[in-house]
Amino acid sequence: MRTVIELGLNEQSIKLLEEYIRRFGKTLTPRTEFHSTVYYSESIHICRDEYSTRYLSERLPIKLNPETYSLDVFGNNNLVLKYENYSVKEIETFLRKRKNGNPSFSNEYPNFNPHITLGKNFDRKHLKFSTFLLGENLVFDSFSWNFKGK
Residue 62 is predicted with a pLDDT of: 98
- Backbone phi, then psi, for 148, in 5-degree steps? -120, 155
User: What kind and span of H or E run contains 73?
Assistant: strand 70-74
Averaged pLDDT, 80-100: 87
Residues 6 or more apart whose CB falls under 8 angstroms from that of 11 comprise none
Please report, rounded to a whole number, the percentage of residues in the chain having pLDDT higher than 70: 86
Residue 6 is predicted with a pLDDT of: 93
Instruction: Tell me which fold the domain 2-148 belongs to.
Output: Cyclic Phosphodiesterase; Chain: A, (3.90.1140)
The number of angstroms, rounded, from the C-alpha of 72 to the middle of its chain's C-alpha atoms is 13
Can you spell out the DSSP letters for 34-90? -EEEEEEESS------HHHHHHHHHT-SEEPPGGG-EEEEETTTEEEEE---HHHHH
User: What kind and span of H or E run contains 143?
Assistant: strand 139-148
Averaged pLDDT, 132-150: 82
Averaged pLDDT, 16-29: 87
Q: State pLDDT tens for residues 93-108.
A: 888 877 655 555 556 6
Q: How confident is the model at residue 17 (pLDDT cuts 50, 70, 90)?
A: very high
| pTM attached to this predicted model | 0.87
| Nearest residue to 81 via CA among 125, 40, 35, 19 | 35
Residue 99 is predicted with a pLDDT of: 62
Domain ranges of the chain: 2-148
Residue 32 is predicted with a pLDDT of: 85
Residue 101 is predicted with a pLDDT of: 53
Please give the residue that has the higher pLDDT: either 121 or 104. 121
d(CA 62, CA 41): 23
